[in-house]
Amino acid sequence: MRNVVVTGCPRADLAAVDELTSFGVATVHEASGRTGYLGPGIRPVYLGSRTGGTAVTAVCWPGDNLMIHAAVEQCQDGDILVVTTTSPSTDGSFGELLATSLRQRGVRGLVTTGGVRDVTELNAMGFPVFCAAVSAQGTVKATPGAVNVPVSINGQRIRPGDAIVADDDGVTVVARTEVAAVIAAARAREENEDATRAALRAGELGLDRYGLRKILAEQGVEYLDFGSYQEQP
Amino acid sequence: MRNVVVTGCPRADLAAVDELTSFGVATVHEASGRTGYLGPGIRPVYLGSRTGGTAVTAVCWPGDNLMIHAAVEQCQDGDILVVTTTSPSTDGSFGELLATSLRQRGVRGLVTTGGVRDVTELNAMGFPVFCAAVSAQGTVKATPGAVNVPVSINGQRIRPGDAIVADDDGVTVVARTEVAAVIAAARAREENEDATRAALRAGELGLDRYGLRKILAEQGVEYLDFGSYQEQP
Amino acid sequence: MRNVVVTGCPRADLAAVDELTSFGVATVHEASGRTGYLGPGIRPVYLGSRTGGTAVTAVCWPGDNLMIHAAVEQCQDGDILVVTTTSPSTDGSFGELLATSLRQRGVRGLVTTGGVRDVTELNAMGFPVFCAAVSAQGTVKATPGAVNVPVSINGQRIRPGDAIVADDDGVTVVARTEVAAVIAAARAREENEDATRAALRAGELGLDRYGLRKILAEQGVEYLDFGSYQEQP
Amino acid sequence: MRNVVVTGCPRADLAAVDELTSFGVATVHEASGRTGYLGPGIRPVYLGSRTGGTAVTAVCWPGDNLMIHAAVEQCQDGDILVVTTTSPSTDGSFGELLATSLRQRGVRGLVTTGGVRDVTELNAMGFPVFCAAVSAQGTVKATPGAVNVPVSINGQRIRPGDAIVADDDGVTVVARTEVAAVIAAARAREENEDATRAALRAGELGLDRYGLRKILAEQGVEYLDFGSYQEQP
Amino acid sequence: MRNVVVTGCPRADLAAVDELTSFGVATVHEASGRTGYLGPGIRPVYLGSRTGGTAVTAVCWPGDNLMIHAAVEQCQDGDILVVTTTSPSTDGSFGELLATSLRQRGVRGLVTTGGVRDVTELNAMGFPVFCAAVSAQGTVKATPGAVNVPVSINGQRIRPGDAIVADDDGVTVVARTEVAAVIAAARAREENEDATRAALRAGELGLDRYGLRKILAEQGVEYLDFGSYQEQP
Amino acid sequence: MRNVVVTGCPRADLAAVDELTSFGVATVHEASGRTGYLGPGIRPVYLGSRTGGTAVTAVCWPGDNLMIHAAVEQCQDGDILVVTTTSPSTDGSFGELLATSLRQRGVRGLVTTGGVRDVTELNAMGFPVFCAAVSAQGTVKATPGAVNVPVSINGQRIRPGDAIVADDDGVTVVARTEVAAVIAAARAREENEDATRAALRAGELGLDRYGLRKILAEQGVEYLDFGSYQEQP
């Protein structure tokens, strides 16, 4: 990793990102071909927030938030700040003052593989935060890193300007160049789900609706009455 | 494990299960002789729900929810669906559409050693979910497994038709044939706790009420004044 | 560890502890020179509570809460009970009855490296609990331990009578003899943060306010335009 | 769980268990229909030992090895002692003295979900130990539990007298009544593997030998030349 | 992720990769600007092996090794197979038969974020394996994935044809286009380390050799005699 | 924590520490009243080494080994360097060059709650290392910390000059002022174990030797014949 701050990154179209966000994380992840999900380890601090925006990335040394400060300057209206560390760290490298600064610039939320603190204040501000830990442990501002380089979280690639969608199910990323295609797929998926939901409410089974009885039979799943099923002694 | 769907399983009496549920998880676990608890790893998605019902079990391959769909058909009014995987998996194999289908059949909740998604929607539905992870990661419907075979979670045996009780303390299971006995024990325990609570509120100490001073003395616990206690240098 | 109950421990001044508590965990931790934090593994059962008091410590055997009962007797108005185990344990060694007894004595909360249960009831009581796990698994009262000996959690030393502050960011400890100094440092820090918050709201960057541009330059961080940045192929 | 010591348990035939052991854990697990494996968390203390025998089970309280002592008396020639705790514990509840006692009775090894100590001495004795942790932390002998009741580890049921096979791949269990059937399946599997091994050495691909090209095609996997594959930007 | 098998990928020069390998993982990681390390979670099954080669990548569904079989066909002399799963899985998706097939093709080792089995046989073969788990748990061959697409492990990008170096310190990756530059940096580093080693053996301190006394002074680290240092009471 | 290097610390008598070391970790831990053990998370890099010495402590920032370099200068013949970080870190902050420097000063080993690298070289040197992780991830030398202040690992207090004993069972600490008493207790324990070992080899049971039958009876453990034991259905 070179110690660089990359400026002037192109971003996904914000109106498109807003539409993407309206579908929610699970639908966007599915519409992306089941990719982009940042994993069950990154959770909202408080349940109930949904947000979306364009990624600004920061790579920090563990226990050090120098590059978050450098990243703030690169943020603009509609962004979401995405923070990783070079090795695992739960330290609280982000809190209410940084959120104040981000909000002043129109930033919509924070995603971090590390820790945050001041969560009462963050919640009072209504600033959406998705993180791996809450920790009051403070950090220093001493070690270089990078801003707006591509990062990987849970095996998913995040480039600056990519679309980020986050809600109670976690966080997912859509490549800047794929946003339009994923919106189209998400729309189709949602229409299909509406019809399925109505059918399920009417009592139709997923076994029938998705044609799964054939798979069960092909895979050799037997139906046995309780009386004839003999558990191994 | 045979790839079977066992049908027509007998269930614990639902009225008895409802009474059991009213005691809550901690009391039921104690009244079962401190058995049946599914461990601290299975947590409610949202705090505040208490539910109980009769178990329908499903064993899935990791990353595959085919057998959940097969299990839905075996569910009836008053059931709770209990899902495990053949090896650890956090994937979101359960979401709002499956919950819609379960609710249509009168199912009261989901317990899973894996992950769920659509948690905003599940909460809006008021559908109780107890799980080990929240994950938007999708699953396929390709690999066989089993429905209504006995499963083990945290070393506790769950057979189809057993009583499940779940609340903010987690999930506990009571064998179908033990429900009446556990209800009796839970009633006795609760009466005893009412009396203890009143005594504690009046200032009596647990040391006296439970006769623990004798144990402390037998075990050689000394009382020392702060002045005479010398911490090791 | 000797099996002792130490009595008559001196405590930090309660009025001073109350002032300390008003600053919150993150500020107190920073004002202590970034020490005292008990780590991200100890979390409030419910978000939204802030409490503080003087420590009474208990060391239990895993799966055994005998020494919690012995500790209750040593508690007085303004205390917080701090529980550890000799080796890791998630068992629910603390619940509503013990909380009832503690409240009767004026105790303000519980901090434990282990597990608690009856969390619905604890919340209904409004009794603040900070723990590593929720578990309905019950404990016995058979094995000796210690009360009011110094303990260490996450590398931080807690002596009886030390000040404990706990909120949504976790738990921090301040040595009894350091309370006054930490209050002074916290006041100074808060005044400084007020000024910084106003500046950030007005659009000043942390890069400028904290003089970080110089560090970035010294550390060799380059600013590159997106067009000239060539990701490694 | 009742606090019982069950005596006089029937055991799987020892000659059959020896034959089973000769196949190794992976083959026995496969020949059991991919069941019985106790999971990746139970590992040999030293690589290089393979053992097998009939299970004697012990359920201990965490931090307490009273029931291991009770279990020793129930052990006979050809047995393997299988230890679990009522809730997770890494304490070193087993060491060289207990191994000495077990060896004197002809016991072939230890399997535990907890911890062991004296591992240098255990290795010098050549006593096979499979455990979740090594820990010098000592235990007491104070709390009741059970011997020779069915236990579950990693969702797998172990009854007294069942066959246990353990090697560098971990530990697997075969129900007492299934040993003959699993031996037959393991023999067939091994013959098949011998032929496959020869074919693979000769350069045949698994894709062809297992007929996987058809599955790849059916599942829509495309083959693309590097030049025509365009990674998402 | 598209379900593709990418063929004909260019590879790093094998002679250069061999030279790179000779430096070992720690030196290569440092010479890469402290990037490329796949983290402490991927460990050799047996200590003592060092290997290096060019990456062929496979992305599998958890519990499914279909794509490993597809990847074997893409492997050639000097390659190392790198396996990931779409979500975390410890299942033993790789064993002795697959190693036999890889060896027949000249493959030098396996790196996986999942599990392996047959470790006794793998060691007897001398086939280097670096993995996150050992597990006898078997897998199916049912679900599509990808071969020779870029993957990310521990935030590090691995493209097909990149250089992989693995030893007792773990695994590191060097981009195909960076191999020559990293070799040059590693050579310089090693010469420097030779001189440092000689100086340290002669009693020079790192404090002096690296100029750290100035940093300690700048950062305000005080030297205090034991007598004048007063631990907080 | 103050940023200090404490010099001139008194140490436990080295001949006494050597005698202590001869007993091994498990015996020393027991002879200390079951205290001092640093937990199952700190393991030898290679099995088979036993070492002991007097503690020099270092507290580092995560990802930074500046204070290890400062600690080297404080080390003398017979010491063991004990490293912790202010928050959890697996980075490889210690390797072969630092070991070379320590050995030159007569240091006998390293204990760290973090990570080490160059493990092949460390083993070739025969330098004993006990750590929580192996990681090639490099560190910087930028952030202050402390040397020879008291530290806590796994709840155990380590002061400079305390005795450290480490072997395959892990690491334990004995306070400098307690060494003589612990040696006496360890001798008594070992004599007792010799007699017990002989008795167990002769077939006596722990149940009888330790008087456990009485405890089992008091605790209500029943002995039931297999035929009369009815597992819960």
- Cα–Cα distances in angstroms (integers) from residue B44 to residues A170, B134, C127, D112, E138, in the given order: 16, 10, 20, 30, 31
D49 close to F (CB below 8 A): no
- Summarize pLDDT for B5-22 with one digit per residue, the tens: 999 999 999 999 999 999
Contacts with C63 (C-beta within 8 Å, 6 or more apart), sequence order: C89, C91, C93, C139, C140, D61, D62, D63, D64, D86, D87, D89, D143
Chain B partners within 8 Å of D221 (Cβ) = none
Task: Decide if C49 touches B, using CB distance below 8 A.
Answer: no
Residues on chain B touching E61 (C-beta within 8 angstroms):
63, 140
Cα–Cα distance list, C88 to A16, A185, F39, F175 (Å): 49, 48, 9, 23
Using DSSP's 3-state secondary structure scheme, residue A31 falls into helix
Inter-chain residue contact B34 with D87, CB threshold 8 Å: no
**CA B233, CA B231: separation in Å to the nearest integer?**
6
Nearest-CB residue to F134 (from E24, E169, E215): E169
C-alpha–C-alpha distance, residues E96 and D205, integer Å:
14
- The shortest C-alpha distance from E101 to chain D (Å) reads 5
F39 at the C interface (CB within 8 A)?
yes
Interface check B125 vs A, CB under 8 A = no
C-alpha–C-alpha distance, residues C83 and C116, integer Å: 11
**Nearest CA distance, F154 vs chain C (angstrom):** 7
* Mean pLDDT computed over E116-122: 97
Tokens of A172: 């997912």
What mean pLDDT, rounded, does chain D reach? Answer: 96
pLDDT, tens digit, 9 for 90 and up, residues C131-188: 999 999 999 999 999 999 999 999 999 999 999 999 999 999 999 999 999 999 999 9
pLDDT at D229: 87
Conformational region of residue B61, where left means phi above 0, alpha means psi within -120 to 50, and beta covers everything else: beta
C221 pLDDT above the threshold of 60: yes
| Least Cα separation, residue A135 to chain E (angstroms) | 22
3-class DSSP assignment, residue B104 = helix
Confidence band (pLDDT; 50, 70, 90) for C63? very high
On chain B, the residues whose CB falls within 8 A of the CB of F232 are 157, 175, 177-178
* F10 touching chain E per CB within 8 A: yes
- The pair of structure tokens assigned to D182 is 């699993």
Q: Identify the pLDDT of residue F202.
A: 97
ipTM of the complex: 0.94
Rounded CA separation A67/A64 (Å): 8
The per-residue pLDDT for range A49-85, each reduced to its tens digit, is 899 999 999 999 999 999 999 999 999 999 999 999 9
A84 shares contact with chain E (CB less than 8 Å): yes
Question: What do you get for the CA distance between the two ends of chain C, in Å?
Answer: 58
* Residue E70 confidence (pLDDT) above 70: yes
Angle at D79 between CA D74 and CA D85, to 5 degrees: 70
The mean pLDDT value of chain F amounts to: 96
Strand partners, A51: A166
Residue D190 has pLDDT above 50, yes or no: yes
Q: What is the pTM for the complete model shown?
A: 0.95
Measure the CA–CA gap between F165 and F171, rounded to whole angstroms. 6
Which pLDDT belongs to residue C233? 42
**B86 to chain D nearest CA, in Å?**
8
Task: Give the tens place of pLDDT for each residue, D73-94.
Answer: 999 999 999 999 999 999 999 9
Inspect the interface and report whether the beta carbons of A117 and C169 lie closer than 8 Å.
Answer: yes
pLDDT tens sequence across D85-126: 999 999 999 999 999 999 999 999 999 999 999 999 999 999
Q: What is the Cα–Cα distance from A102 to A190, expressed in whole angstroms? A: 33
Contacts of residue D40, Cβ cutoff 8 Å, sequence gap at least 6? D170, E90, E115, E133, E134, E135, E137
Q: What is the pLDDT of residue C2?
A: 86
Task: Return d(Cα F220, Cα F217) in angstroms, integer.
Answer: 5
Residue D233 has pLDDT above 60, yes or no: no
Chain F residues touching D5 at Cβ < 8 A:
216, 221-224
Chain D, 127 to 166: residues with Cβ < 8 Å from chain B are 150-153, 155-157
DSSP F107: -
Beta carbons of C89 and D91 less than 8 Å apart:
no
With vertex at residue F160, the alpha carbon angle to CA F158 and CA F164, rounded to the nearest 5 degrees, is: 60
Q: In which band, very low, low, confident or very high, does the pLDDT at D231 lie, cut at 50, 70 and 90?
A: low
Q: How far is E113 from chain F (nearest CA, A)?
A: 15
Is E84 in a helix, a strand, or coil? Answer: strand
Tell me the count of E-F CB pairs closer than 8 A. 130
At residue B218, the pLDDT reads 94
pLDDT in tens, A189-203: 999 999 999 999 999
- Give the whole-number percent of chain B exceeding pLDDT 90: 95
Checking if the pLDDT of F233 tops 50, the result is no
Mean pLDDT throughout E189-198? 97
* Separation in Å, CA of E72 to nearest CA in chain D: 8
Q: How far is C50 from chain D (nearest CA, A)?
A: 31
Read off the pLDDT of each residue in E150-178 and give the average, rounded to a whole number. 97
Give residue-wise pLDDT tens across range A143-192: 999 999 999 999 999 999 999 999 999 999 999 999 999 999 999 999 99
Rounded CA gap, D118 and D125, in Å?
Answer: 11
Can you tell me the mean pLDDT for B104-133?
97
For residue D2, name the pLDDT band (cuts at 50, 70, 90).
confident
Residue E121's pLDDT is: 96
Band (C69; pLDDT cuts 50, 70, 90): very high
Is the CB of B226 less than 8 angstroms away from the CB of C119? no
**Residue F34: its chain C contacts at CB < 8 A?**
1, 86
How many CB atoms are located within 10 Å of the residue E41 CB? 16
Q: How far is CA B157 from CA A30, B167, D53, in A?
A: 35, 19, 24
Please provide the average confidence, as pLDDT, over all residues in chain B. Answer: 96
Residues in CB range of F159: below 8 A, 6 or more apart: B233, F55, F57, F150, F175, F176
Taking CA–CA distances from C36, the nearest residue in chain F reads F1
CB contact under 8 A, A87 and F91: yes
Put simply, whether E47 touches F (Cβ < 8 Å) is yes
pLDDT over threshold 90, residue D7: yes
Half-sphere exposure in the Cβ direction for C21 (13 Å, CA) = 24
Separation in Å, CA B52 to CA B12, B79, D98: 11, 8, 44
Among chain A residues, CA nearest to C198? A100
> Do the chains contact at C5 and B48, CB–CB below 8 Å?
no
Which H helix or E strand runs over C92? strand C92-94
| pLDDT, position E231 | 62
- pLDDT for A107 equals 98
At residue E233 the predicted structure's pLDDT band, cuts being 50, 70 and 90, is very low
Instruction: Supply the pLDDT for residue B2.
Output: 86
Residue by residue, DSSP assigns F13-47 as -HHHHHHHHHH-HHHHHHHTTS--B--TT-EESST
The tokens of D101 are what? 């006692």
- DSSP designation for E53: E
Is residue A1 predicted with pLDDT exceeding 90? Answer: no
Q: Which residues of A45-78 are buried (b: 16+ CB within 10 A; e: fewer)?
A: bbbebbbbbbbbbbbbbbbbbbbbbbbbbbbeeb
Contact between residue E175 and residue C233 where contact means Cβ atoms under 8 Å apart: yes
State the pLDDT confidence band at F10, using cuts at 50, 70 and 90.
very high
Residue B93: closest CA among B121, B75, B116, B73: B116
Question: What per-residue confidence (pLDDT) applies to A2?
Answer: 86
Using CB atoms and an 8 Å cut-off, which of residues 175-194 of chain A contact chain D?
Answer: 175-178
User: Closest residue of C to A91, CA-based?
Assistant: C40
Minimum distance, in Å, between the CA of residue D91 and any CA atom of chain B: 18
Residue A233 has pLDDT above 80, yes or no: no
Best E4, E5, E6 member to test D by mutation, with max D CBs in 10 Å, is E6
